[in-house]
Amino acid sequence: MKDQFPGYVFGYGSLMSPESIEESLDRKIQLTDLIPCQLHGYIRRWNACVPYIFEDETSGEFSVDVVFLNIERRKYASVNGVLLPVNQADLDVLDQRELVYNRLIVTSQVCANQPVQGVVYTYVAQPEYSRKVRLQHGLIMSDYIELVEAACREFGEAFLKEYHRTTLPPESPTFQVEIDAE
């Protein structure tokens, strides 16, 4: 097992969802494959922005920032999440999925209820995709919120409450929308 999965990714948003992970890795992910844990020295916030161009029948094309979860260093803080066992091929796929994020090593900052062997990585938004330097308004997709909260619920109501407690609200106006992917 150690050779097959030499490390882990700490997921704190959509990477807590087996369904979301499966779409990227093209393999079955069971809830039992994910290890609930804490990442110390970070806060979770809504400030990763990805520019999207949409077409509207009346106004034509328009650009907007879609806002996703991110983590930032903060002394004495911690966030809950899960550890996903990964191999190098998985990391390559996740690096492509998380293009606006940098992959960091956080092994020494993770606390789980079971022994974890190997390197632990997580993804942090690149500075140029941080809400601080992007537009003043953004959109949060309601499907994304539902996906993350449903993933948290799978680990119990206490896990969901901890997610809410350790997630800062958006700092500037953000609109929750449903986006039809067709």
What is the homologous superfamily of the domain 7-173 according to CATH?
Gamma-glutamyl cyclotransferase-like (3.10.490.10)
No. of H helices and E strands in the chain?
4, 9
Whole-number Cα distances in Å, 41 to 64, 116, 160, 162: 31, 19, 20, 16
- Ordered by start, the domain boundaries in the chain are 7-173
Is the per-residue pLDDT at 120 higher than 90?
yes
| pLDDT of the residue at 138 | 77
Confidence of residue 1 (pLDDT cuts 50, 70, 90): very low
Give 142-152 pLDDT, tens digit per residue: 889 999 999 99
| pLDDT of the residue at 59 | 72
Is the per-residue pLDDT at 134 higher than 80?
no
Confidence of residue 135 (pLDDT cuts 50, 70, 90): low
**Distance from C-alpha of 178 to C-alpha of 71, rounded to nearest angstrom:** 24
| pLDDT of the residue at 140 | 85
Percent of the chain with pLDDT over 70: 87
Per the structure block, which two tokens stand in for 77? 């803080």
**Distance from C-alpha of 141 to C-alpha of 13, rounded to nearest angstrom:** 13
Helix (H) or strand (E) holding 69: strand 60-86
pLDDT average, residue stretch 9-32: 96
Give 57-99 pLDDT, tens digit per residue: 777 777 778 889 999 999 999 999 999 999 999 999 999 999 9
Whole-model pTM: value is 0.88
